[in-house]
C-alpha cells in the first residue's frame, strides 16, 4: 500500500517505456539486436541440446553434422536439382493461380453480380483442404508435374481470390465516382482506378499465400516425385538420415524467406505510393 | 449553361420504411454563377448534389443541363468531394491529367491544359509530388485543378473544405474565388458553413431538413474588387453579418422544429 501511494505522488500518467511501446517504433539498435537474438538463441539451444543433451545423434543431429550433410547434398548435385524442381513447381502453380485469381478477385470485388455468382462456390471449395485433392489429382493427371502444379493451383487460387476481392472493397467510393465525373467509363474505372489501387494488396496476398504453396509442394512430393526437396526428405527418412532432413528444412525456410523478401522489394519499388 | 432542378424528390428505403431525403426541390443556376446550398446535417444537401452529378437517381422530378436531362454522371458536371479525392499512385500532374486521358484527348493538348491548370491552382512546383506528400489544402487544390481541366459546364463541390483547419479553409475560400474569377466556371457548392456560403456566393439556397426542401433563396449583394472577386474585408461589413444571421436563424428554426417533432 505504501509503495502504491508513493508511486502516485511521484508520477502522473503512464510511466515511460522503450520495450513495451504500443504501435510505435523502437530504437534501431535495439531492433537489430532483438532480430539477431531471434535467430541466435534457437540455433544455440539446438546446438546445446544436440551436443550435451541425451538425445541421440540419429534423432537430433548437431549443426556441424547438418552442415556436413548439406555439403554432401551440394556436392552430389542433389540440392540444386531438388531445389530447382520444387521451386519451379511452386512458381508454375502460383503463376497459374495468379493469372486466374487476379481478374476473378478484382471482378468479384467490383461487381456484386460476379460476387454473387462465385462467392458461394469459392467459399465452399476453399474449406476443402488442398492436400485432400492429391489422390484425385493423381488419378486424373498421373504422377508427373501436372498434379503437383495443379495442387498448388488449387491450394492458392481461392485464398488469393478472396483476399483480392476484399481489397477491392477498400477502394474509396469517392474515387470511383470522381472518375465517372471526369468522363470515365465503367471499364476505365475497372482497369485504371480499381486495378492500380489494389496492386499493393495483391502483392501482400501473394506473400501470404506463397507460404501455402511451399507447404503443398512438399506434400505433393512426399506422395510421388522423382526430384524435389520433399522427395529428398522422404528418401532421407528411409535411411534415417535426419541430418539431411534438417538440411532440407533449413533450405526450405531460407528460400521461403528469400521469396518473401523479394516480394517485399517488389512492393517497395512498384508501390512507393502505398508506403506510409 | 443552364442547370434546372424541377420538383426533385428523393426517398431512401430503409428498414424503418421510406425516408424522404428531398422533397420538391426547385432551383436553377446560370452561366458563370457561384451558388451555394446551405443546410444542416440531414437536410439532404449531399443527396441533392449527387443527384445533379448523376451519381444517384431521383424518385421523382427532373434535372436538366441545357435542356438535356441528366441520366448519369458525365464530364459536363465536374465534382470535388471532401475526402479521398486523389489517385494515390499518380503524382500531381498525372492526377490533373487523368480525366483528359480518360477522354482520349491528344497528348500535346493534355500537356498544355495540365500546365495551365497547375498554374491556376499554384501547384506547378509540386507537379512531381505524390498525393501522400501534400497537405489537405494542397490535395483539394489538385482535385479542383483535375475537375477544371476537363472544362465542365458546372463544377459541383460537396463540402470541399469541410476537412480542413480554419486557417487553410479561409485561404482556400479566397483561392476558390480567384479560380472562379479567372476561369469563369459555374460553381454549385454544398456547405453547412453559413459564413463560407455568404462569403463565396452570389446566390444561396437554404435547405431545411427532413424532408430537405428549399426554404428560401438569397441574393447576396456584397462589394467585389476591381477583378470581380470578394476579398476578406467583406466579412466585417454589416451586410455580411446580416446575411449570416438571417440564414443562421433560418437553419436554427428548422432544426428546433425538427427536434420538437422528434421529441
Q: How does pLDDT run across B157-174, given as a tens digit for each residue?
A: 999 999 899 999 999 999
Residue A19 has pLDDT above 80, yes or no: yes
As a whole number of angstroms, the distance between CA B63 and CA A203 comes to 44
Instruction: Give how many domains chain A has, as a whole number.
Output: 1
With an 8 Å Cβ cutoff, are A273 and B131 in contact?
yes
Residues A205, A198: contact at Cβ < 8 Å? no
CATH of the domain at A117: 1.10.3720.10
Residue range(s) defining the domain that contains residue A197? 63-274
Is residue B153 within 8 angstroms of chain A, CB to CB? no
Is residue B113 within 8 angstroms of chain A, CB to CB? no
Say if A262 falls within a structural domain. Answer: yes
Q: How does pLDDT run across B180-207, given as a tens digit for each residue?
A: 988 999 999 999 999 999 999 999 999 9
With an 8 Å Cβ cutoff, are A192 and B102 in contact?
yes
* Probe site for chain B from A170, A173, A177, A178 (most B CB atoms < 10 A): A178
The tens-digit pLDDT sequence of chain B (263 residues) is 999 999 999 999 888 888 889 999 999 999 999 999 998 877 889 999 999 999 999 999 999 999 999 999 999 999 999 988 899 999 999 999 999 999 999 999 999 999 999 999 999 999 999 999 999 999 999 999 999 999 999 999 999 999 899 999 999 999 999 999 889 999 999 999 999 999 999 999 999 877 888 989 999 988 887 666 788 888 889 999 999 999 999 988 877 666 665 54
Is residue B83 within 8 angstroms of chain A, CB to CB? yes
Nearest to B248 by CA among B194, B203, B176: B194
With an 8 Å Cβ cutoff, are B131 and A183 in contact?
no
Shortest distance between the Cα of B84 and any Cα of chain A, in A, equals 6
Say if A212 falls within a structural domain. Answer: yes
Say if A21 falls within a structural domain. Answer: no
CB pairs under 8 A between A and B: 73
Find the residue in A nearest to B99 (Cα).
A182
In CATH, what is the architecture of B2-76+154-262? 3-Layer(aba) Sandwich (3.40)
With an 8 Å Cβ cutoff, are A182 and B99 in contact?
yes
Q: Domain extents for chain B? A: 2-76+154-262, 85-151
Residue A5 has pLDDT above 80, yes or no: no
Residue A157 has pLDDT above 70, yes or no: yes
pLDDT band with cut points at 50, 70 and 90 for residue A51: confident
Q: Which percentage of chain A shows pLDDT scores above 70?
A: 96
Say if A11 falls within a structural domain. Answer: no
Q: How does pLDDT run across A175-186, given as a tens digit for each residue?
A: 999 999 999 999
pLDDT value of position A1: 47
Amino acid at each position: 500500500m505504501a509503495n502504491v501511494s508513493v508511486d502516485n505522488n511521484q508520477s502522473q500518467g503512464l510511466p515511460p517505456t522503450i520495450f513495451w511501446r504500443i504501435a510505435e517504433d523502437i530504437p534501431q539498435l535495439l531492433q537489430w539486436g532483438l532480430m539477431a537474438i531471434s535467430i541466435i538463441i534457437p540455433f544455440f539451444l539446438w546446438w546445446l541440446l544436440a551436443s550435451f543433451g541425451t538425445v541421440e545423434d540419429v534423432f537430433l543431429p548437431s549443426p556441424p553434422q547438418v552442415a556436413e550433410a548439406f555439403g554432401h547434398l551440394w556436392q552430389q548435385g542433389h540440392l540444386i536439382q531438388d531445389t530447382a524442381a520444387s521451386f519451379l513447381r511452386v512458381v508454375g502453380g502460383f503463376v497459374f493461380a495468379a493469372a486466374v485469381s487476379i481478374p476473378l478477385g478484382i471482378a468479384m470485388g467490383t461487381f456484386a453480380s460476379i460476387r454473387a455468382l462465385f462467392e458461394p462456390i469459392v467459399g465452399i471449395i476453399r474449406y476443402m483442404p488442398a492436400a485432400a485433392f492429391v489422390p484425385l489429382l493423381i488419378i486424373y493427371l498421373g504422377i508427373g508435374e501436372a498434379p503437383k502444379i495443379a495442387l498448388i493451383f488449387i491450394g492458392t487460387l481461392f485464398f488469393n481470390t478472396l483476399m483480392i476481392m476484399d481489397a477491392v472493397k477498400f477502394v474509396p467510393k469517392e474515387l470511383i465516382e470522381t472518375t465517372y465525373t471526369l468522363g470515365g467509363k465503367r471499364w476505365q474505372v475497372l482497369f485504371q482506378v480499381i486495378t492500380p489501387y489494389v496492386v499493393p494488396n495483391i502483392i501482400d496476398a501473394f506473400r501470404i499465400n506463397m507460404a501455402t504453396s511451399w507447404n503443398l509442394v512438399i506434400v505433393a512430393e512426399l506422395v510421388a516425385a522423382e526430384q524435389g526437396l520433399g522427395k529428398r526428405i522422404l528418401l532421407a527418412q528411409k535411411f534415417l538420415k535426419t541430418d539431411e532432413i534438417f538440411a532440407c528444412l533449413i533450405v526450405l525456410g531460407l528460400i521461403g524467406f528469400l521469396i518473401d523478401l523479394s516480394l517485399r522489394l517488389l512492393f517497395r519499388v512498384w508501390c512507393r505510393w502505398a508506403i506510409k | 449553361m443552364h442547370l434546372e432542378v424541377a420538383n426533385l424528390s428523393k426517398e431512401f428505403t430503409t428498414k424503418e420504411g421510406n425516408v424522404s431525403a428531398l422533397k420538391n426541390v426547385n432551383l436553377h443556376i446560370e452561366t458563370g454563377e457561384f451558388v451555394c446550398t446551405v443546410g444542416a446535417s440531414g437536410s439532404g444537401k449531399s443527396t441533392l448534389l449527387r443527384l445533379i452529378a448523376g451519381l444517384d437517381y431521383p424518385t421523382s422530378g427532373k434535372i436538366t443541363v441545357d435542356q438535356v436531362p441528366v441520366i448519369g454522371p458525365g464530364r459536363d458536371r465536374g465534382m470535388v468531394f471532401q475526402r479521398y479525392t486523389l489517385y494515390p499512385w499518380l503524382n500531381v500532374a498525372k492526377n490533373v491529367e487523368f480525366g483528359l486521358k480518360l477522354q482520349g484527348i491528344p497528348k500535346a493538348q493534355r500537356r498544355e491544359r495540365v500546365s495551365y491548370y497547375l498554374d491556376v491552382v499554384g501547384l506547378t512546383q509540386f507537379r512531381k509530388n505524390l498525393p501522400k506528400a501534400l497537405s489537405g489544402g494542397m490535395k483539394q487544390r489538385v482535385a479542383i485543378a483535375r475537375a477544371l481541366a476537363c472544362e465542365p459546364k458546372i463544377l459541383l463541390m460537396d463540402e470541399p473544405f469541410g476537412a480542413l483547419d480554419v486557417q487553410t479553409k479561409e485561404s482556400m475560400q479566397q483561392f476558390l474565388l480567384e479560380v472562379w474569377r479567372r476561369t469563369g466556371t459555374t460553381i454549385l457548392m454544398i456547405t453547412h458553413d453559413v459564413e463560407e456560403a455568404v462569403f463565396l456566393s452570389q446566390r444561396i439556397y437554404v435547405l431545411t431538413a427532413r424532408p430537405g426542401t428549399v426554404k428560401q433563396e438569397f441574393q447576396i449583394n456584397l462589394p467585389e474588387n476591381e477583378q470581380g472577386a470578394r476579398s476578406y474585408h467583406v466579412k466585417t461589413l454589416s451586410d455580411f453579418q446580416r446575411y449570416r444571421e438571417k440564414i443562421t436563424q433560418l437553419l436554427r428554426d428548422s432544426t428546433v422544429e425538427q427536434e420538437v417533432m422528434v421529441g
